[in-house]
Chain A
Amino acid sequence: MIHIDKDTCKGCGICIAVCPKSVLEFSKELNQKGVNYPEVVNEKKCILCENCMIYCPDFAVVVKKDGKK
Protein backbone atom coordinates (compact mmCIF):
# COMPACT_ATOMS: atom_id res chain seq x y z
CA MET A 1 0.00 0.00 0.00
CA ILE A 2 1.16 3.51 -0.78
CA HIS A 3 0.03 6.19 1.64
CA ILE A 4 0.53 9.86 0.88
CA ASP A 5 0.28 12.50 3.58
CA LYS A 6 -0.99 15.13 1.18
CA ASP A 7 -0.78 18.11 3.49
CA THR A 8 2.86 17.39 4.41
CA CYS A 9 3.75 17.26 0.72
CA LYS A 10 5.55 20.30 -0.74
CA GLY A 11 4.82 19.33 -4.33
CA CYS A 12 8.40 18.82 -5.54
CA GLY A 13 7.41 15.93 -7.83
CA ILE A 14 10.38 13.72 -6.95
CA CYS A 15 8.21 10.72 -6.00
CA ILE A 16 6.43 10.90 -9.35
CA ALA A 17 9.74 11.09 -11.24
CA VAL A 18 11.43 8.18 -9.45
CA CYS A 19 8.49 5.77 -9.73
CA PRO A 20 9.50 3.16 -12.34
CA LYS A 21 5.88 2.19 -13.04
CA SER A 22 4.12 5.57 -13.39
CA VAL A 23 1.88 4.80 -10.45
CA LEU A 24 1.70 8.40 -9.28
CA GLU A 25 0.46 11.61 -10.86
CA PHE A 26 0.01 15.18 -9.67
CA SER A 27 -3.41 15.95 -8.21
CA LYS A 28 -5.67 18.53 -9.80
CA GLU A 29 -6.56 19.90 -6.38
CA LEU A 30 -4.23 21.91 -4.19
CA ASN A 31 -3.33 20.87 -0.65
CA GLN A 32 -3.20 23.09 2.47
CA LYS A 33 0.20 24.41 1.36
CA GLY A 34 -1.26 25.38 -2.01
CA VAL A 35 0.65 22.85 -4.10
CA ASN A 36 -0.31 19.87 -6.22
CA TYR A 37 0.50 16.62 -4.47
CA PRO A 38 0.91 13.07 -5.83
CA GLU A 39 -2.07 10.80 -6.18
CA VAL A 40 -2.06 7.06 -6.74
CA VAL A 41 -3.58 6.53 -10.18
CA ASN A 42 -2.30 3.08 -11.06
CA GLU A 43 -1.97 1.08 -7.87
CA LYS A 44 -2.15 -2.26 -9.68
CA LYS A 45 1.15 -1.50 -11.42
CA CYS A 46 2.99 -0.79 -8.15
CA ILE A 47 5.89 -3.17 -7.49
CA LEU A 48 6.43 -1.90 -3.91
CA CYS A 49 9.98 -0.84 -4.75
CA GLU A 50 9.76 1.96 -2.13
CA ASN A 51 11.42 4.57 -4.36
CA CYS A 52 8.62 7.07 -3.73
CA MET A 53 9.13 6.67 0.03
CA ILE A 54 12.92 6.82 0.27
CA TYR A 55 13.27 9.80 -2.09
CA CYS A 56 10.58 11.98 -0.52
CA PRO A 57 12.46 14.77 1.27
CA ASP A 58 9.47 15.43 3.51
CA PHE A 59 8.67 11.89 4.65
CA ALA A 60 5.21 12.30 3.13
CA VAL A 61 5.07 8.88 1.46
CA VAL A 62 4.85 5.53 3.24
CA VAL A 63 4.99 2.21 1.42
CA LYS A 64 3.82 -0.76 3.44
CA LYS A 65 4.57 -4.20 2.12
CA ASP A 66 1.54 -5.74 3.73
CA GLY A 67 1.07 -8.31 1.03
CA LYS A 68 -2.22 -6.96 -0.26
CA LYS A 69 -0.89 -4.29 -2.60
Chain B
Amino acid sequence: MVNPVTHNLKKYFRGEINYTTCPGCGNGIVAQAILWAIDDSGIDFDNYAFVSGIGCSGWIPSPAFNTDVLHVTHGRAIAFATGLKLAAPNMKIIVTAGDGDTSAIGGNHFIHACRRNIDLTMICVNNQIYGMTGGQIAPTTPYLSKTTTTPYGSVERPFDLSKIAIAAGATFVARWTTFQARQLRKTIAKAILHPGFSFVEIISQCPVQYGKVLKKRNDAVAMLMDYKERSINLKKARELQKSELKDKIIVGEFVEERNVPELTQEINRLREEALQKCQR
Protein backbone atom coordinates (compact mmCIF):
# COMPACT_ATOMS: atom_id res chain seq x y z
CA MET B 1 0.00 0.00 0.00
CA VAL B 2 1.27 3.46 -0.82
CA ASN B 3 1.34 5.85 2.09
CA PRO B 4 -1.74 8.06 1.72
CA VAL B 5 0.28 10.97 3.07
CA THR B 6 3.20 12.25 1.02
CA HIS B 7 6.52 12.85 2.71
CA ASN B 8 7.43 16.54 2.86
CA LEU B 9 10.65 15.77 0.98
CA LYS B 10 9.12 13.57 -1.73
CA LYS B 11 9.20 16.51 -4.19
CA TYR B 12 13.00 16.19 -4.39
CA PHE B 13 12.93 12.58 -5.59
CA ARG B 14 12.90 11.26 -9.14
CA GLY B 15 10.26 8.67 -8.30
CA GLU B 16 9.23 6.76 -5.23
CA ILE B 17 11.59 7.06 -2.25
CA ASN B 18 13.23 3.68 -2.19
CA TYR B 19 16.69 3.48 -0.65
CA THR B 20 18.53 0.19 -0.97
CA THR B 21 20.64 0.75 2.16
CA CYS B 22 20.67 -1.81 4.98
CA PRO B 23 18.12 -1.38 7.80
CA GLY B 24 19.03 1.49 10.12
CA CYS B 25 21.90 2.79 7.96
CA GLY B 26 22.90 6.37 8.79
CA ASN B 27 22.97 7.35 5.12
CA GLY B 28 19.20 7.88 5.12
CA ILE B 29 19.39 10.24 8.10
CA VAL B 30 22.07 12.22 6.27
CA ALA B 31 19.93 12.23 3.09
CA GLN B 32 17.06 13.75 5.05
CA ALA B 33 19.29 16.37 6.68
CA ILE B 34 20.63 17.42 3.24
CA LEU B 35 17.13 17.73 1.79
CA TRP B 36 15.73 19.60 4.78
CA ALA B 37 18.66 22.03 4.50
CA ILE B 38 17.92 22.49 0.80
CA ASP B 39 14.27 23.05 1.66
CA ASP B 40 15.35 25.73 4.16
CA SER B 41 17.66 27.39 1.62
CA GLY B 42 14.80 28.50 -0.62
CA ILE B 43 17.06 27.91 -3.64
CA ASP B 44 15.43 26.06 -6.53
CA PHE B 45 16.47 22.38 -6.64
CA ASP B 46 17.46 22.79 -10.31
CA ASN B 47 20.26 25.10 -9.22
CA TYR B 48 21.84 22.29 -7.23
CA ALA B 49 24.05 19.56 -8.66
CA PHE B 50 25.34 16.54 -6.75
CA VAL B 51 28.57 14.71 -7.31
CA SER B 52 29.01 11.43 -5.52
CA GLY B 53 31.81 8.97 -5.13
CA ILE B 54 31.72 5.19 -4.97
CA GLY B 55 30.61 3.62 -1.71
CA CYS B 56 27.30 3.28 0.09
CA SER B 57 27.15 7.03 0.71
CA GLY B 58 27.45 7.64 -3.01
CA TRP B 59 23.89 6.38 -3.31
CA ILE B 60 22.43 9.19 -1.21
CA PRO B 61 21.74 11.46 -4.20
CA SER B 62 22.18 8.92 -6.98
CA PRO B 63 19.91 8.19 -8.78
CA ALA B 64 17.28 9.31 -6.30
CA PHE B 65 17.49 13.12 -6.32
CA ASN B 66 15.58 14.83 -9.10
CA THR B 67 18.29 17.24 -10.23
CA ASP B 68 21.69 16.84 -11.92
CA VAL B 69 23.64 14.02 -10.28
CA LEU B 70 27.08 12.83 -11.34
CA HIS B 71 28.00 9.46 -9.88
CA VAL B 72 31.70 9.27 -10.64
CA THR B 73 34.74 7.10 -9.97
CA HIS B 74 35.98 6.16 -6.51
CA GLY B 75 37.94 8.96 -4.86
CA ARG B 76 37.37 11.42 -7.68
CA ALA B 77 34.14 13.15 -6.66
CA ILE B 78 35.95 16.35 -5.65
CA ALA B 79 37.97 16.36 -8.88
CA PHE B 80 34.79 16.14 -11.00
CA ALA B 81 33.05 18.70 -8.80
CA THR B 82 35.96 21.12 -9.22
CA GLY B 83 35.58 20.97 -13.00
CA LEU B 84 31.84 21.36 -12.76
CA LYS B 85 32.09 24.38 -10.46
CA LEU B 86 34.59 26.11 -12.75
CA ALA B 87 32.32 25.50 -15.75
CA ALA B 88 29.11 26.44 -13.93
CA PRO B 89 30.11 28.79 -11.10
CA ASN B 90 26.54 29.76 -10.25
CA MET B 91 25.50 26.21 -9.44
CA LYS B 92 25.35 25.03 -5.83
CA ILE B 93 27.43 21.87 -5.86
CA ILE B 94 27.22 19.26 -3.15
CA VAL B 95 29.67 16.38 -2.97
CA THR B 96 28.70 13.27 -1.02
CA ALA B 97 31.37 10.69 -0.33
CA GLY B 98 32.43 8.13 2.23
CA ASP B 99 35.37 8.31 4.60
CA GLY B 100 37.35 5.85 2.48
CA ASP B 101 36.60 7.73 -0.71
CA THR B 102 37.56 11.05 0.93
CA SER B 103 40.66 10.12 2.85
CA ALA B 104 42.19 7.05 1.21
CA ILE B 105 41.98 6.97 -2.59
CA GLY B 106 40.73 10.58 -2.77
CA GLY B 107 42.90 12.03 -0.01
CA ASN B 108 44.88 14.35 -2.27
CA HIS B 109 41.80 15.82 -3.95
CA PHE B 110 40.38 16.43 -0.50
CA ILE B 111 43.31 18.37 0.94
CA HIS B 112 43.83 20.41 -2.22
CA ALA B 113 40.17 21.42 -2.42
CA CYS B 114 40.54 22.66 1.18
CA ARG B 115 43.69 24.56 0.25
CA ARG B 116 42.17 26.08 -2.90
CA ASN B 117 39.03 27.09 -1.06
CA ILE B 118 36.79 26.21 -4.00
CA ASP B 119 33.11 26.86 -3.31
CA LEU B 120 31.83 23.29 -2.89
CA THR B 121 29.85 21.71 -0.06
CA MET B 122 31.42 18.43 0.92
CA ILE B 123 29.29 16.00 2.90
CA CYS B 124 31.53 13.23 4.17
CA VAL B 125 29.69 10.27 5.65
CA ASN B 126 32.21 8.80 8.05
CA ASN B 127 31.08 5.32 9.04
CA GLN B 128 34.70 4.51 9.95
CA ILE B 129 34.86 1.59 7.51
CA TYR B 130 34.64 0.54 3.86
CA GLY B 131 30.96 -0.30 4.02
CA MET B 132 30.11 -1.21 0.48
CA THR B 133 32.97 -3.61 -0.15
CA GLY B 134 32.46 -5.70 2.97
CA GLY B 135 33.87 -3.98 6.03
CA GLN B 136 37.59 -3.52 5.33
CA ILE B 137 39.68 -1.10 7.38
CA ALA B 138 39.54 2.57 6.34
CA PRO B 139 41.97 5.35 7.33
CA THR B 140 39.32 6.40 9.88
CA THR B 141 38.82 3.03 11.57
CA PRO B 142 39.44 3.38 15.33
CA TYR B 143 42.58 1.85 16.84
CA LEU B 144 42.23 -1.85 17.76
CA SER B 145 39.00 -2.33 15.76
CA LYS B 146 38.57 -5.79 14.32
CA THR B 147 37.56 -5.55 10.68
CA THR B 148 37.49 -7.98 7.75
CA THR B 149 41.10 -7.06 6.94
CA THR B 150 42.31 -6.55 10.53
CA PRO B 151 41.04 -9.69 12.24
CA TYR B 152 43.43 -9.18 15.19
CA GLY B 153 42.54 -5.51 15.58
CA SER B 154 43.84 -2.47 13.74
CA VAL B 155 47.25 -1.28 14.88
CA GLU B 156 46.99 1.95 12.88
CA ARG B 157 46.03 5.36 14.22
CA PRO B 158 42.94 6.80 12.54
CA PHE B 159 42.65 10.13 10.75
CA ASP B 160 40.57 12.91 12.27
CA LEU B 161 39.02 14.18 9.03
CA SER B 162 37.82 17.52 10.37
CA LYS B 163 41.29 18.26 11.75
CA ILE B 164 42.78 17.51 8.33
CA ALA B 165 40.28 19.85 6.67
CA ILE B 166 41.15 22.62 9.13
CA ALA B 167 44.90 22.12 8.71
CA ALA B 168 44.56 22.07 4.91
CA GLY B 169 42.75 25.42 4.94
CA ALA B 170 39.02 24.66 4.52
CA THR B 171 37.06 27.79 5.46
CA PHE B 172 34.00 26.00 6.90
CA VAL B 173 34.45 22.83 8.92
CA ALA B 174 31.90 21.05 11.10
CA ARG B 175 31.25 17.61 12.52
CA TRP B 176 28.13 15.97 13.92
CA THR B 177 26.96 12.43 14.40
CA THR B 178 23.68 11.14 12.99
CA PHE B 179 22.27 11.52 16.50
CA GLN B 180 22.45 15.32 16.05
CA ALA B 181 20.24 15.25 12.94
CA ARG B 182 18.69 18.64 13.74
CA GLN B 183 22.02 20.42 14.21
CA LEU B 184 23.26 18.70 11.07
CA ARG B 185 20.41 20.17 9.04
CA LYS B 186 21.26 23.70 10.26
CA THR B 187 24.95 23.21 9.60
CA ILE B 188 24.39 21.93 6.06
CA ALA B 189 22.15 24.93 5.35
CA LYS B 190 25.01 27.20 6.48
CA ALA B 191 27.60 25.21 4.54
CA ILE B 192 25.58 25.56 1.32
CA LEU B 193 25.60 29.36 1.67
CA HIS B 194 29.24 29.56 2.76
CA PRO B 195 31.31 31.14 -0.05
CA GLY B 196 34.23 28.70 -0.03
CA PHE B 197 35.06 25.06 0.59
CA SER B 198 32.86 23.67 3.33
CA PHE B 199 33.52 20.32 4.89
CA VAL B 200 30.77 18.65 6.91
CA GLU B 201 31.76 15.35 8.51
CA ILE B 202 29.07 13.05 9.85
CA ILE B 203 29.91 10.11 12.08
CA SER B 204 27.28 7.70 10.82
CA GLN B 205 26.21 4.23 11.75
CA CYS B 206 26.91 1.29 9.45
CA PRO B 207 25.14 -1.33 11.54
CA VAL B 208 26.05 -4.14 9.17
CA GLN B 209 29.75 -3.76 8.36
CA TYR B 210 30.90 -1.65 11.31
CA GLY B 211 28.25 -3.01 13.64
CA LYS B 212 29.93 -6.40 13.55
CA VAL B 213 33.13 -4.76 14.85
CA LEU B 214 31.20 -3.46 17.83
CA LYS B 215 29.33 -6.73 18.18
CA LYS B 216 26.22 -4.63 17.62
CA ARG B 217 25.52 -6.12 14.27
CA ASN B 218 22.32 -4.77 12.77
CA ASP B 219 21.72 -2.71 15.88
CA ALA B 220 21.39 0.80 14.56
CA VAL B 221 19.66 1.96 17.74
CA ALA B 222 22.58 0.88 19.94
CA MET B 223 25.02 2.69 17.65
CA LEU B 224 22.95 5.89 17.70
CA MET B 225 22.71 5.79 21.49
CA ASP B 226 26.46 5.23 21.66
CA TYR B 227 26.95 8.43 19.61
CA LYS B 228 24.63 10.24 21.99
CA GLU B 229 26.74 9.08 24.96
CA ARG B 230 30.09 9.90 23.42
CA SER B 231 29.38 13.20 21.65
CA ILE B 232 30.74 16.30 23.31
CA ASN B 233 30.34 19.84 22.06
CA LEU B 234 33.57 21.59 21.13
CA LYS B 235 33.02 24.40 23.65
CA LYS B 236 32.79 21.87 26.46
CA ALA B 237 35.64 19.83 25.03
CA ARG B 238 37.95 22.86 25.24
CA GLU B 239 37.63 22.81 29.03
CA LEU B 240 38.65 19.15 29.35
CA GLN B 241 42.03 17.43 29.50
CA LYS B 242 43.18 15.20 26.66
CA SER B 243 42.73 12.10 28.84
CA GLU B 244 39.13 13.05 29.58
CA LEU B 245 38.41 13.25 25.85
CA LYS B 246 39.43 9.66 25.17
CA ASP B 247 36.67 7.89 23.19
CA LYS B 248 34.69 11.15 22.93
CA ILE B 249 33.45 12.46 19.60
CA ILE B 250 33.97 16.23 19.48
CA VAL B 251 31.08 17.79 17.57
CA GLY B 252 30.14 21.28 16.49
CA GLU B 253 31.10 23.95 13.97
CA PHE B 254 34.87 24.25 14.18
CA VAL B 255 35.70 26.87 11.56
CA GLU B 256 33.78 29.55 9.66
CA GLU B 257 36.15 31.94 7.95
CA ARG B 258 35.07 34.55 5.42
CA ASN B 259 36.99 36.89 3.11
CA VAL B 260 39.44 34.21 2.02
CA PRO B 261 40.11 34.15 -1.77
CA GLU B 262 37.86 31.54 -3.43
CA LEU B 263 39.10 29.66 -6.50
CA THR B 264 36.30 30.28 -9.02
CA GLN B 265 36.24 33.99 -8.20
CA GLU B 266 40.01 34.21 -8.51
CA ILE B 267 39.90 32.57 -11.93
CA ASN B 268 37.10 34.89 -12.98
CA ARG B 269 39.18 37.88 -11.90
CA LEU B 270 42.14 36.67 -13.95
CA ARG B 271 39.88 36.15 -16.94
CA GLU B 272 38.52 39.68 -16.71
CA GLU B 273 41.96 41.19 -16.29
CA ALA B 274 43.16 39.31 -19.37
CA LEU B 275 40.13 40.49 -21.38
CA GLN B 276 40.80 44.10 -20.42
CA LYS B 277 44.42 43.77 -21.55
CA CYS B 278 43.30 42.40 -24.93
CA GLN B 279 40.90 45.29 -25.42
CA ARG B 280 43.56 47.89 -24.71
Q: How many residues of B contact A (CB 8 A)?
A: 35
* Known contacts A57-B27, A58-B28; is-contact A17 B224 (Cβ 8 Å): yes
B220: interface (CB < 8 Å):
yes
A-B contact count (CB 8 A): 78
A57 touches B24 (CB 8 A): yes
B6 touches A62 (CB 8 A): yes
Q: Interface size class for chain A? A: 20 to 34
A56: interface (CB < 8 Å):
yes
B225: interface (CB < 8 Å):
yes
Q: Which residues of B contact A12 (CB under 8 A)?
A: 23-24, 207, 220-221
A8: interface (CB < 8 Å):
yes
A13 to B225, CA, bound (A): 12
**Interface residues of chain A: helix, strand, loop or mixed (majority):** loop
Q: Which residues of A contact B31 (CB under 8 A)?
A: 57, 59
Max chain A Cβ within 10 angstroms of own Cβ: one of B2, B26, B207, B224: B224
B24 touches A14 (CB 8 A): yes
B181 touches A54 (CB 8 A): yes
A35: interface (CB < 8 Å):
yes
A54 to B39, CA, bound (A): 14
Q: Which residues of B contact A17 (CB under 8 A)?
A: 221, 224-225
B24 touches A3 (CB 8 A): no
Residue of B nearest to A18 (CB): B224
Residue of A nearest to B218 (CB): A12
Residue of B nearest to A66 (CB): B5
B1: interface (CB < 8 Å):
yes
Q: Considering the complex, which residues of chain B in the window 16-32 have a beta carbon less than 8 Å from any beta carbon of chain A?
A: 17-19, 21-29, 31-32
B5 touches A59 (CB 8 A): no
